[in-house]
Structure 1
């Protein structure tokens, strides 16, 4: 008896699934760190973990004109409903005081997404090179895998072992709330997601949903290491002309342990649905 061949559409779907299944596929993201500043007393300093066991911050600087406080969103900066946010502020160009604001450590991950809202006021004193956001297994440049500078209306990439300020990526409007989303891949393989690809040891940066940095290389001394915290710091100096001063408002900080659904995952789901429909159609044809 002659064997009947598998119909071409069905055979194509089976082949497609077998090929896509070999591509890197990421599991559904899980939130491993979040901070909305609602648990703190408005108007009070946010203490570090060894002072406040309920704090979400491992290090917190509150001295010599440097402060990290929770504030009530009375002027609807981030939300028109009841809300609190965090404020990091250095109000002096003569204090030569290091800023060290670091989150508590979260579950280590090589791939993931950091998102947060920020607001930069034109009314605040500004001097120096802005806030450096460092992402890595620990605080300090030696524990940094990725870096980003937020400086008085401009976002810069960071480069080198010292996370030095590098290329201007985008400007942003002062006195307006913005959203930053940093998708990072510190694994040894490139990963596809949402129709894009992020290379090994690079990050993609989105400002208010617009891609401003594509496959930017890591910085600091821990490129290739799993990510466990993020921290905000600045460059200080004994010279008033160079000593940092500035203020940034933060809210809705979230870290996921996986890059958003990869394009291969979405394609696999689509091909699976196609295969199911073809099989059902084939069964009906044979039953007739």
Structure 2
């Protein structure tokens, strides 16, 4: 009897229509447990007045948290603009620098594998550790960057990188670019390996210069990788807390939605309003992800 049951199970599993769903169940459980449930819980919290350690809270308030945030002047004029500048500015520059590094490392050069490993260091070093080093280098009293610039006679007085609002935001963005560029470089370098050399040689024979070969052959070929990598980086940069928190703590008008959400939820214990802040730009990014999927589905390979 047990052998007959085992035989029936084996025969049932031999059918790919049965085996396929079973094989993806572990991945589905991970996605549900680590992504879907936390997101659903955050969405629910954003529509309540939940406060940590406060009785009588947790009541449904609809979109009141979002309206209250929008009515705050600093939220409209500082936090949201900072988030948009930081996210899109950093991602565009990471893409540009990463593409440049990828093209450079794709050319024949001595010790190429060594350089490929070295450029990964900013990305693999723990964020808090590397940002602490940057905090020391940007310190208004002990900045080694200021010392170098003064010795080179580029500036004649110290730049207050983390003191004034604009330099502080640009400094935070620069650290994010430094840390995220290797991810773009390695991903795009892998994509460049599949660009057909025959097409590049044919374009060169037809008289196309370097820029034309890049725009007409390389970019169209690796565009799906560029789109996916850019979207992934947008999401990661939008949720970046560590760099801003370690460098400025959100002060000097460097608050982003992620750091402000953290401050509301964990410092001020306003979990509902903090969840609303973290989800404030979600509809816009949902539209971007939808457009990305449509582009990838409609692309002809």
TM norm. shorter chain > 0.5: no
Greater strand percent: which structure? 1
For the aligned pair, the TM-score class normalised by the smaller chain equals under 0.3
Greater helix percent: which structure? 2
Compare CA radii of gyration and give the structure with the larger one. 2
Query: What TM-score, normalized to structure 1?
Result: 0.23
